[in-house]
Amino acid sequence: MKKLIWPGSTQLAPVPAVLVGTGGNNWKNNLITVAWVGIVCSNPAMLSISVRPERYSYKALTELREFSVNVPLASQAAIVDWCGVVSGRDHDKFAEQKLTALPGSRIQSPLVQECPLNLECQVKDIIKLGSHDMFIAQIVAVQVSEDFLTGSGRLDLEHDGGVLGYAHGHYFNLGKCIGHFGFSVRKKSGPIIRK
Amino acid sequence: MKKLIWPGSTQLAPVPAVLVGTGGNNWKNNLITVAWVGIVCSNPAMLSISVRPERYSYKALTELREFSVNVPLASQAAIVDWCGVVSGRDHDKFAEQKLTALPGSRIQSPLVQECPLNLECQVKDIIKLGSHDMFIAQIVAVQVSEDFLTGSGRLDLEHDGGVLGYAHGHYFNLGKCIGHFGFSVRKKSGPIIRK
């Protein structure tokens, strides 16, 4: 298959599309949509988000040095998109999207009650890279909606359309489960296909 | 909906699951599977990968200061899984998985010909975080398989099952396209649903 060579660009896919929440300490509650987010360390659990300095949330992030990462369902794609298009300078995003600000257990910034999975994050370092500054943060607590736990207490985000993915400018839900980590070497049982 | 509060953990989802290639300069060609990967800057285009120092690829990454990120199709999930389970100390991953080492245009490390999308990356910084070191790298070139371009030259990875996602220990393909960035405010035309 022939390859074309292009200049460097941000073609990684799929990436998460999450709602980052800030507020408290005289900052109004706000949300910003971030796709430049990823896990960067397992122990301690850490992630990074990258945000342009000209975004309204940037100053809150640098002053508060904390934020929530709210993992949305595919069915919440329109909310995620809207929060990425309009600015907190002109909108009360929680009120206009009828979202509930849930108190964090370890941070003052609000979590989004309606998202099934919420990560409470404390900033450890801010690195200037160019168009974006990278906020490296420890995930100090996780909140999960009880309805998304199986009987055995395992997180199962596959109902209600599953979590939201983002690939090359388009939002997707997740499709079929192909197998779990290690399936390729579990020869006796073969790949585990979730029905 | 009631929330449960858990200790901090790496629950972000979905994340990409990519093959990171290293080789050249007296290093044998090798691949490591990485899910702790994300875009960190748009201009210049940059990403980060996080790798445990005890992994076989770690020394190659620190000495070569470059790598390829190969974005697999969902149909390549078993290859991705296998490359994440076995070590390059004991295996020739390219040969055993019948993968073709494609030369980079800007790096010496091999790309995976069979993956539709390949990012050539040069390391700018390495940050120790705990269990993992984070490699911050510039994406200096992109190679794409011609078969995945539409007539108008747009990248379309949706055929052949689309790109591979990873969520809470399980591999997924992407499901339906819900809309593209900005769909929530395009009232006249409504969400763009790709058939």
In Å, how far is A25's CA from the nearest CA of chain B? 23
Is the predicted pLDDT of residue A161 greater than 80, yes or no?
no
CA distance A116 to A148: 7
pLDDT band at A5 (very low <50, low <70, confident <90, very high): very high
Of B2, B39, B145, the CB nearest to A15: B39
Closest Cα in chain A to B134: A40
Lowest mean pLDDT among A15-19, A97-101, B111-115, B188-192: B188-192
Hey, what's the torsion of the CAs at B72, B77, B81, B82, to 10 degrees?
-90
Average pLDDT, rounded, for chain B: 93
Q: Are the CB atoms for B7 and A142 separated by under 8 Å?
A: yes
Look at B4 and A130 and tell me if their CB atoms are within 8 Å: no
Q: Is the pLDDT of residue A193 over 70?
A: no
CB contact under 8 A, A175 and B180: no
**Is there a contact between B145 and A2 if contact means CB atoms under 8 Å apart?**
yes
Query: Taking CA A39 as the corner, what is the angle to CA B168 and CA A79, rounded to the nearest 5 degrees?
Result: 75
pTM above 0.80, yes or no: yes
Q: Among A17-26, A122-131, A146-155, B183-192, where is mean pLDDT lowest?
A: B183-192
Token pair for B147: 């078969």
pLDDT for the residue numbered B90: 94
Confidence (pLDDT) at A187: 61
Sign of CA dihedral A47, A51, A57, A63: positive
Q: Calculate the average pLDDT of chain A.
A: 93
C-alpha Rg value of chain A to the nearest Å: 18
Residue A154: predicted pLDDT: 84
Q: Give Cα separations from A12 to A54, B19, B45 (angstroms).
A: 24, 12, 10
Distance CA B45, CA A9 (A): 5
- With a cut of 60, say whether residue A133 has pLDDT above it: yes
Q: In the numeric block, which tokens belong to residue A191? A: 């790949």
Measured between alpha carbons, how far is B141 from A7 in angstroms, rounded to an integer?
5
Share of chain A above pLDDT 90, in %: 84
Q: Model confidence over B126-150: pLDDT tens digits?
A: 999 999 999 999 999 999 999 889 8
B189 pLDDT exceeds 60?
A: no
A58 vs B103: CA distance, rounded Å: 40
What is the mean pLDDT of the segment spanning A57-62? Answer: 97
Residue whose tokens read 């120790």: B128
pLDDT of residue B111: 98
Flag whether pLDDT at A79 surpasses 90.
Answer: yes
The predicted pLDDT at position B192 comes to: 46
Residue A103 token pair: 């108190």
pLDDT for A129: 98
pLDDT at A53 exceeding the cut of 80: yes
Q: Which of A136, A118, A195, A175 is nearest to B166 (CA)?
A: A175
Say whether A50 and B69 touch across the interface (CB within 8 A).
no
Question: Which residue has better confidence, B53 or A159?
Answer: B53
pLDDT value at A190 more than 70: no
Give the residue ranges of DSSP H helices in A86-131.
Answer: 93-96
pLDDT tens across A90-119, in order? 999 999 999 999 999 999 999 999 999 999
- CB–CB contact A81 B4 (8 Å): no
In B, minimum Cα distance to A74 occurs at B178
Q: Could you tell me which residue, A175 or A54, shows the higher pLDDT? A: A54
More confident call, B188 vs A98: A98
Query: pLDDT band for position A126 (50/70/90)?
Result: very high
**Average pLDDT of the residues in A23-47:** 97
Q: Do the chains contact at B117 and A11, CB–CB below 8 Å?
A: yes
Q: In a 10 Å sphere around its CB, with 0-12 CB exposed, 13-18 middle and 19+ buried, how is residue B122 labelled? A: middle
CA distances to A10, A123, B163 from A6, rounded to whole Å, are 11, 35, 19
Residue A76 Rama label (left phi>0; alpha psi -120 to 50; beta): alpha
Residue among B12, B79, B136 whose CB faces A47 most closely: B12
The mean pLDDT value for B170-179 works out to: 91
